[in-house]
Amino acid sequence: MIDTQRLQEKCARQGIELTGIQLDQLNHYARLLVEYNQKVNLTAITDPEGIEDKHFLDSLLFASQPEVTGKMIDVGCGAGFPGLVTKIYKPELELTLMEPTGKRVEFLKYVCAELGLTGVEFAKERAEEAARKQWRETADVVSARAVAALQILAEYCLPLTRVGGVFIAMKGSGAEQELASAKGAIAKLGGSYRETRSFQLPGGDARSLVVCEKISQTPTVYPRNGGKIAKSPLK
């Protein structure tokens, strides 16, 4: 399906090393994604090199960060990016895939079964509702990729992050503009902006990882319900 040697070389240029087993798992994952996508809308990217770059390498840039350890929640994970790729790269990770759409959750379960991945929890939940349940302030790292603007995303993700943990948002070229609007929200939710790490995919697309530390508990009034978050984002 994908060209595993080509992917390995692209990853090596970013300082990411993949084993033969991991490359085989990613190849199998790509095949399952394309097959399943014919009946359930999972991704618009189905060509091999597009999957390698925009799904796998993009996710591995996140997965290879030193903070990505312990217990991770991937918010709005869709078809499993970056969560499942991160689990393949770091099998010891305790992973919760949080996705409200049932058909996508079924796909995630299917992929984990096919690839033999264990230590994965499937939470068919909206993040703002999950943060009122057992997941609140439990994760060492919370990730989100292309879910919403950063000031909205912060209210979804920081309530799930434990004090001392990190929230890492995967963004494109507009990360700095989003950050300027989000710093107030991040602070209100118990977070502190640490840094933005910038990368470039082989096709030239810019990628940014916005890293926020959780320095104090999120006030109990947050998160608000989804409608309020979208209508009047925190400032």
Q: Is residue 51 part of a domain?
A: no
Report the pLDDT value the prediction gives residue 131, as an integer from 0 to 100: 98
pLDDT in tens, 99-151: 999 999 999 999 999 999 999 999 999 999 999 999 999 999 999 997 899 99
Report the pLDDT value the prediction gives residue 146, as an integer from 0 to 100: 79
Tally of domains in the chain: 1
Q: Is residue 72 part of a domain?
A: yes
Binding-site residues for S-adenosyl-L-methionine sit at 76, 81, 99-101, 127-128, 145
Taking phi over 0 as left and psi of -120 to 50 as alpha, with beta for the rest, 164 belongs to left
Residue 80 · residue 55 · CB < 8 Å: no
pLDDT in tens, 175-224: 999 999 999 999 999 999 999 999 999 989 999 999 999 999 999 999 99
What CATH number should be reported for the domain holding residue 113?
A: 3.40.50.150
Q: Is residue 58 part of a domain?
A: no
Q: Is residue 24 part of a domain?
A: no
Q: Is residue 28 part of a domain?
A: no
Binding-site residues sit at 76, 81, 99-101, 127-128, 145
The count of C-alpha atoms lying within 13 angstroms of the C-alpha of 161, restricted to the half-sphere facing its C-beta, is: 34
pLDDT in tens, 22-69: 999 999 999 999 999 999 999 999 999 999 999 999 999 999 999 999
3-state secondary structure of 12: helix
Tokens of 163: 């004090």
Question: At which residue do the structure tokens 């209210």 appear?
Answer: 155
Q: Is residue 125 part of a domain?
A: yes
Q: Is residue 172 part of a domain?
A: yes
Q: Is residue 62 part of a domain?
A: no
